[in-house]
Amino acid sequence: MSKKSSDQKMAEAILEIYAPPAGGQTGPGALRDKVSFQFRPSELRLLKEASWVRHNARMASHSAVPEFTGSQPRILSLTAVLDETDSRGQSVDQRTAKLLTGCSPTESSLSDGRPSPPWVRFQWGEFESVSFLAVISQLETTYTRFSASGEPLRAVCKLTLEEIGTATKGQNPTSGSPDVRHSCVFVRGDSLQSVAVRNTGRAADWRSIAELNGIDDPSKVLPGRPLLLPSPRRSPE
């Protein structure tokens, strides 16, 4: 067996944990930590959806042609096993605590007035389609082994990661030159109006945000959802 194939076989599955954006950042902050999984996942479930809308068409013989309204984030579900201490000497309880931080806002984001949990990225060798910036939308942990003193020796963690939107290139209709459309993550306590004021300075731009993201009911936007934002040059007067 070649050295390359041997390295690929032994690739370690890890979850990278990043600080959330601060100030005017649109990308993640510094890498804060990593959680390693001694046992490689036996199954990964990747979900990707596209949103379509069908309008009533009285003259259509079967159905109207659907209108594409947006691409939904990737959803990655996996089960990771944490067993005793890892190669860095970290216990099951310590690594589980790190995963739990992905469901609570960081102190720095609270101080900044933009509460956000850490961002994460799942990494496993060269498996690129499941490696993307995400938020932990769900974590379920089952402890299955314990020491005589009650310390957990094994934990089975079911993780659901939801992709975070990135800046998307658009085109300025007046000049034909590319511009950049930014994104943000909807957090608890937000409304589309507050997102609009914070990012474009105009509460009325909430309608543009709803249209860009295919949102029919602004009251049902869930925390953790990434939102595309209109370019200031495109905001309606």
Predicted confidence (pLDDT) per residue in 119-166, tens digit: 999 999 888 899 999 999 999 999 999 999 999 999 999 999 999 875
User: In this structure, what CATH number is given to the domain that contains residue 47?
Assistant: 2.40.30
Round the average pLDDT of the chain to a whole number and report it. Answer: 81
pLDDT of residue 126: 85
Dist CA 33 CA 30 (whole Å):
9
What sign does the dihedral 115-136-188-48 (CA atoms) show? positive
Structure pTM?
0.64
E strands, 84-173, are 119-124, 133-146, 152-163, 168-171
Domain extent at residue 86: 3-163
Verify that 29 and 9 share a domain, yes or no: yes
User: In this structure, what CATH number is given to the domain that contains residue 203?
Assistant: 3.10.350.10
Q: DSSP state, 69?
A: E
Most confidently modeled of 15-24, 141-150, 204-213? 141-150
- Residue at which a domain ends, from 163, 185, 209: 163
Instruction: Please state, for a pLDDT cut of 90, what percent of the chain lies above it.
Output: 35
Verify that 203 and 98 share a domain, yes or no: no
Verify that 104 and 216 share a domain, yes or no: no
Verify that 145 and 220 share a domain, yes or no: no
Predicted confidence (pLDDT) per residue in 25-53, tens digit: 777 888 999 998 877 788 999 999 988 88
Task: Mention every residue, 6+ apart, whose C-beta is less than 8 A from residue 99.
Answer: 15, 35, 136, 139, 141, 157, 159
The total of other beta-carbon atoms located within 10 Å of residue 206's CB is 19
Count of domains forming the chain: 2
Task: Mention every residue, 6+ apart, whose C-beta is less than 8 A from residue 137.
Answer: 75, 160, 161, 162, 224
